[in-house]
Amino acid sequence: RHVADFQLSIASIVENNSSDCLAQDLHLQAQQLAEQLKCDSVVSEISAGPGTVNFTINKELLAKTVLQQVWKDGSEYGVKSELFSTVPRQKAVIEFSSPNIAKKFHIGHLRSTIIGNFIANLKVALGHEVVRINYLGDWGMQFGLLGVGFQSFGNKEKLKSSPLQHLFEVYVQINKAAEDENTKKLAKDFFRKLEEHDEQTLSIWKQFRDLSIEEYIRIYKRIGVHFDEYSGESFYQEKAQEVLKMLEDKGLLQKTIKGTGIVDLSEKKDLSTVCTVMRSDGTSLYVTRQFLIFSFRDLAAAIDRMNKHSWDTMIYVTDKSQSNHFQHLFQILKLMGYDWAERCQHVSFGQVQGMKTRRGEVIFLEDVLNEVRSRMLQNMASTKTTKEIQDPMETAEKLGLAALIIQDFRGLLSSDYQFSWDRALQSRGDTGVFLQYTHARLYSLEQVHGNAQLSDVNVACLQEPDAISVLQHLLRYDEVLYRSSQDLQPKHIVSYLLTLGHLAAVAHKSLPVKGSAPDVAQARLCLFHAARSVLANGMKLLGITPVTQM
């Protein structure tokens, strides 16, 4: 039985739609309306159902329009849709990843990295200008400890060859002695010298920072991520003092009886909502940003970025435990007279439970990448078809990353989820490996049968229900991009691509190219080419590099 392509419910347009409006009345009205409506080149059939008017569209026109559009727009398919025609092109600053030097690159940093990268990719695809900023934890008392630790346990060769790991080891070792009075004093002295710009101390710190960034750049490259700017807390030392003075000058900084500095955020100015910004000993309340204790540096950084980039929107990608911090940050900026604070946005995400590598807890991003690659290689080795791959290591890496990203992006970003290696790396079901597998199969189809030419396609050969399902789904791609661009949630694109993968897999089985009449084979090749093209576009937006063999 034929199912309509579009349906109009009469109840939704009847004016006096009271519940006593009987079903038979609605049915009658549906019939009357259906009789008055005329078919045209797009709508090929109009009929009445129980209280509905059903529309069937011209399938040949559908096939022709979709295939031509995908072919013509290529990697910009969906982006050129009229849905985006009224959206102004803007400049966005996105701060993401932001690990702390000498500390663990935990799973929260990984989430921030892939989510920030997705948002940046999407904005660039839609024609916006994007500045990607990595705001490093590169300042603070921990560098006093680290400096002292390096004098005791440091090794220059190890620092050069694997800076992240070596600094972490040094930090762990010196932390064991952190309660010792002498160590405390030395650490304080080291950090004081840093703050006073003592040359020798600064050059040690600079070496820690520069070598760490070099290593980060190399690892980010493995996951296809880059930054336009490596910023950090160290940049805003002096500027933080200026912000403090501005708060004082504007009368926004109040002192409590205990001498703590607060900013009143309440509407009625009755101190019902306050943000504590300073300890009674005069230091800005600042441990690390993880602890959500207020930092003038974040205020200074926001103001500085506005001066430097004059952006239209600034997005911070961090976990949801920091939501209060950012709410306060934006409120204080507004009180300081910066109306652009309303164009700042915090994209928050939930926690991941249970991600461990074989070596135990995740300490470095590289551990996760190596783990997912080795597990993927193992899976590939146990399947029959893997032998002829040119670069199994690289393929395993791309498959593994796809697995991580799809598992992460399937739900709402703000929800916590339980991580599972087995589930993530499955080749069937709704996984990244399944998407890669589908892409590789469609790619090899084109390799075997040659590239289809759109010019000589007979669309009358694409009327089977499985072909129509793929075409109708391709038609909806722009709507999905639009939804993701509105709420910055990747899940709309993920579920769209998974459905596309399943529809293409079904069509691949039921609509063989091999052994079909030449014009049928050509038409089907065109259909599969379009499906693969859109699949690849969507995967790239998510931060996945499509593989061509596996």
Residues labelled catalytic: 103, 106, 109
Residues near 313 by beta carbon (within 8 Å), at least 6 away in sequence: 90, 91, 92, 93, 343, 344, 345
Show the tokens assigned to 159: 């620092």
Rounded CA gap, 107 and 103, in Å? 12
Rounded CA gap, 262 and 331, in Å? 13
Rounded CA gap, 111 and 318, in Å? 8
Name the nearest CA neighbour of 333 among 346, 343, 323: 343
Q: How far is CA 451 from CA 192, 402, 445, 530, in A?
A: 67, 26, 9, 11
Rg, the chain, Cα only? 29
Name the nearest CA neighbour of 134 among 186, 29, 212: 212
Rounded CA gap, 225 and 38, in Å? 53
Rounded CA gap, 222 and 217, in Å? 9
Q: How far is CA 29 from CA 26, 50, 56, 386, 491, in A?
A: 5, 10, 19, 61, 40
Other Cβ atoms less than 10 A from the Cβ of 454: the count is: 16
| Count of residues making up the chain | 550
Show the tokens assigned to 222: 């493995």
Other Cβ atoms less than 10 A from the Cβ of 42: the count is: 11
Show the tokens assigned to 372: 């997912």
Q: Given 3-state DSSP classes, what are the helix, strand and coil percentages for the chain, each rounded to the nearest 5?
A: 60, 15, 30
Return the bridge partners of 229, or none.
Answer: 133
Residues near 239 by beta carbon (within 8 Å), at least 6 away in sequence: 297, 300, 301, 303, 304
Show the tokens assigned to 430: 């709704």
Residues near 46 by beta carbon (within 8 Å), at least 6 away in sequence: 34, 37, 38, 39, 53, 54, 55, 56
Name all contacts of 39-42 with Cβ < 8 Å and 24+ positions apart. Answer: none
Q: How far is CA 434 from the centre of its chain?
A: 20
